[in-house]
Amino acid sequence: MELVYSPKTGTTEKKYRHYTVNSFAEKGLIAEKKKEFFYIGKDSFIIDNLVQSFESGYAAENVENAISILTKVIEKRNVYPDVILADAAAGAAALHTFYKFLSANRSLSSIPFLIDASSSGARELSELRKLAFVDEIISMHTQSDKLLSKIYFIKKIKDASNFKALQQNIRQSTDMQTASNNLLKRGFDVMVASVILLALVPVFLLIALAIRIESKGPIFYIAKRAGRGYRVFNFFKFRTMEAGADKKVDQLSHLNQYNATSEKGPVFFKVSNDPRITKVGAFLRNTSLDELPQFINVLLGDMSLVGNRPLPLYEAETLTTDDWAARFMAPAGITGLWQIKKRGQDDMSVEERIGLDIAYANRNSFMYDLWIMANTPTALIQKSSV
């Protein structure tokens, strides 16, 4: 099914055209568009939501039809959709087939590819998360209002020209590091993280017990963070806030210490004496004990002992410009140049923080890491936390 909108009347006028694999809409029927979607599935609720959010789009009932329609649209119009959304009901095998089709075309592979899991159970969700080629798994029945912001973020990262330039910068940065430096850094990370985790098992148990006694909720705070090259991973810390604290960020935005007054530029969020922090959480933050689970991330290779702090996705989203992207050339780390130079200073600006991150990325080396680690203990006793 093809959905076409008149440029004069916005979304008030619709034209529907059904076609098979061997037929195509007549020339001239398709109106000019600003944003276009491509949906694979049969859910009318989702199609209605997409119609309200985009000026035009296509809906195919299955992957086979989707491949045929996309091929013909590209051949006849040379136009690519802004997002591809597939119903999880299509099945993993069919989605793999569709991914092979997308990956054969550089322009198609750069389009945000999302899966709607509105009707998926826990087991199906677990299988979907194994599909590495999927950019995001969402539920359109509960998160349709967040679709455009997700597409915007993913598209910025996957944009052919900007992302290619970013990858080239990352490769150049990596090439400047010798093989011995990389080997030393990774070997040291694994050795230190392993020893610390084994030695602190009793401490982990005591902290877990204290968190559970004081407040309901999980022991660990697990969040998506962006590390080197904008790679997203699960970030581990001991939970120091009340359950559901992330949902209260907007309510506390007026208390943000950072000068986040511009709607464009980088945005960070930090509140002094945050009311969401529990008593046990305050102690863990003041002593930096809440950071201990990050040694798990080090073992997994998501982080290093020294690097730039892995950022929440809403912060990383504001740092995709040429001016700021350099800070992502360095690995994510537990401690770093920013922590030992500026930690605890409330008057620090966003620009100063990113400047230190970029300075570390440009000077990243194993010997520099050792110097930073040697200066980290004095930062740990400061009250203000990351």
The domain that holds 93 is classified in CATH as 3.40.50.2300
User: Within a domain: residue 204?
Assistant: yes
8 Å CB contact between 137 and 125: yes
- By DSSP bridging, strand 113-116 and strand 136-138 are parallel
Q: Are residues 368 and 272 in the same domain?
A: yes
- pTM for the model stands at 0.50
pLDDT (0 to 100) of residue 77: 77
> Is 21 inside any structural domain?
yes
* Domain C-terminal end among 113, 138, 158: 158
Can you read off the two tokens belonging to residue 152?
Answer: 């915007």
Residue 193 structure tokens = 């993280």
In the predicted model, residues of the chain with pLDDT beneath 50 are 1-34, 260-263, 269, 383-386
Cα gap 206→382, rounded to integer Å:
23
SS3 content of the chain, % helix, strand, coil (to 5): 50, 15, 35
Q: 8 lies in a domain?
A: yes
Distances (CA, A) of 46 to 52, 87, 95, 115, 360: 10, 10, 18, 12, 45
- 10 Å Cβ neighbour count for 105? 14
Contact yes or no for 274/241 (Cβ under 8 A): yes
Domain that holds residue 131: 2-158
Final residue of a structural domain among 158, 190, 220:
158
Would you state the pLDDT for residue 192? 95
- What is the structure's pLDDT at 57? 86
Number of separate domains in the chain: 2
